[in-house]
Structure 1
């Protein structure tokens, strides 16, 4: 079958072995796969990504060898086409999604970046039956593919502990920032004030439910909060991942404020601890989601509570995936591109 492969730092399309489901697994045909910001980071800075991940995990050896082909793709919807031996999988034709893991021998095997497992940047792949989340009949397969990024936003909102009566500030209206907006509004939080340099992404933020958007080249999130929402406590979600933003937020944040860091910064950063100490700020970092949050995210899409369609700005076939990666560097044009194998 055909699949996109990261080979020596370049995305190429190649013929790869057909995946075969084992016991407890199902074979699926990929319907759509979103290109994630972490995929962009990995292609451009794979060695740094693996080094930092290894250090964060206590020095565990990297799970991926960049000298070998790497398979990717973890935001997906798929159609069941078969089951492995002794597996009571969903009927053929069922639309599913899944956390990007396989359960093998009681261990979780990542499918996000792998030398051995087929990700969703290919025509077919194997999934663990017990991890599948089935989409209700009639759901849009492109929207279901965004379950995974929505789960990231949902987890961040859950971990933050934000409650109604709090103003939420969102720095960055890329996919993560947009899912934060959607999940905050679904919880009745407001006002939600978001900022991004891209006019197109600010417009998408409004479509996703933001009450106010600002252009940081001419305005400031905290100035907007002081104008619009300063009668309430404030919480900021950092969804950009660039050096200096945490320090700026700590400087501007009022006493007892909270900053939730969702954006992945691949560079060394610095901040002034005095800001945090003198104002008793809370700085929280979050990542990924739980199995329950993943299921909840899919149901938010399926029941219409969250409409992720405004996030989707392009669709390409496998042959155009390298160009799509390059296009995502243009925030005024694209937010989320789906690969349709």
Structure 2
């Protein structure tokens, strides 16, 4: 990618530095942040610079995207231990631990992301993949780690009733994590019929089309307590007796946060996992009067990545339905176009060896 233009080209195989391995990419997922990188690159750069003081990439330099992957070791670089032999399939926390850390998927041809045939990884971060786990399922560890982090941020209790607004890949992954942890009943909302069907398949108990049914009213029906011990926090202004509410905003477009503040029950926890790349606004007075807890969630820790991978490996997380298409590298530009239509795909997996 260069300045919002996506092309497939040829580049030299990268050379591993100290403590690094060269790997062959077996499978890679297309992430929503890859779409943002392509269509809102300047906004992403400005946000990262202002928030963290980092330059993710240069708009004028080529970027090889892709940070959700399964790969195979083909060469050990200098000063490596060689603990995992050549031919070992691996997952990995997507960072190169150099003096200046490289965020995989935002580097150039020298440090490419997973939309390449070969890439570099830090040996110390590698996780071996068991034989029974397919390459494409391994590539889901990263988005599941994002969802796991969002659920962890919400600190749900056993009586919380979660509501997921937006059933794109992250919303669907949040549903899968909630279901695995036995939290619920889970209410999910999306305009897309295909994504509503996936939400149901991945564990949502009630799925609604917001054009026809208010997800907040559906939530209230399920949040009626059967035991006084289940009643969540109340205020004098809002004494409604309901189970606690945890709302996951997984849409990321302007106006959604205000919609949640307006319609959600008082004292709700709102976890914003949708990455909105445009200016947005909401009424703080609404959140203050209803004593909302508003929190934002970004990425995950190395420990959460390993935990998500462990749940996949053990079979606790069954998320195969997330994958809706499989393509080769030369099909990438068309796949990015397809992902703009929520009824066509949820998660597209790229197989660089596919011709």
Query: Please, what TM-score do these two structures have when normalized by structure 1?
Result: 0.95
Paired position in structure 2 for 1:13:
8
Give, in whole Å, the separation in 2 of the partners of 1:82 and 1:164.
Answer: 47
Paired position in structure 2 for 1:279:
290
CA positional deviation for 1:188? 1.0
CA positional deviation for 1:8? 3.3
Q: Which moved more, 1:61-70 or 1:306-315?
A: 61-70
Paired position in structure 2 for 1:298:
309
Give, in whole Å, the separation in 2 of the partners of 1:192 and 1:263.
Answer: 18
Give, in whole Å, the separation in 2 of the partners of 1:61 and 1:287.
Answer: 16
Paired position in structure 1 for 2:269:
258
Give, in whole Å, the separation in 2 of the partners of 1:202 and 1:292.
Answer: 31
Paired position in structure 2 for 1:3:
none
Give, in whole Å, the separation in 1 of the partners of 2:56 and 2:173.
Answer: 28
Give, in whole Å, the separation in 1 of the partners of 2:35 and 2:334.
Answer: 12
Give, in whole Å, the separation in 2 of the partners of 1:203 and 1:213.
Answer: 8
Give, in whole Å, the separation in 1 of the partners of 2:262 and 2:96.
Answer: 43
Indicate whether 1:69 and 2:65 are aligned. no
Give, in whole Å, the separation in 2 of the partners of 1:142 and 1:153.
Answer: 18
8 Å Cα contact 2:3/2:41 also seen in 1:
no
8 Å Cα contact 2:20/2:122 also seen in 1:
yes
Indicate whether 1:209 and 2:203 are aligned. yes
Query: Please, what TM-score do these two structures have when normalized by structure 2?
Result: 0.91
Indicate which of 80, 86, 89 corresponds to 1:87.
Answer: 80
Q: Point out 4+ residue stretches in structure 1 off by more than 3 angstroms.
A: none
Structure 1 unaligned regions, length at least 5 = 1-5
- Aligned residue pairs total 333
8 Å Cα contact 1:135/1:298 also seen in 2:
no
Paired position in structure 1 for 2:19:
24
Give, in whole Å, the separation in 1 of the partners of 2:76 and 2:332.
Answer: 29
Structure 2 unaligned regions, length at least 5 = 226-242
Indicate whether 1:104 and 2:98 are aligned. yes
CA positional deviation for 1:149? 0.2
Indicate whether 1:237 and 2:248 are aligned. yes
Paired position in structure 1 for 2:338:
327
Cα offsets for 1:41-69 (capped at 9, x unmatched): 11011011111221112xx3523111111
Give, in whole Å, the separation in 2 of the partners of 1:172 and 1:8.
Answer: 29
Judged with a 3 Å threshold, the aligned counterparts in structure 2 of structure 1 residues 338 and 280 are, in CA distance, closer, same or farther, namely same
Give, in whole Å, the separation in 2 of the partners of 1:191 and 1:76.
Answer: 32
Give, in whole Å, the separation in 2 of the partners of 1:76 and 1:84.
Answer: 20
Give, in whole Å, the separation in 2 of the partners of 1:336 and 1:14.
Answer: 23
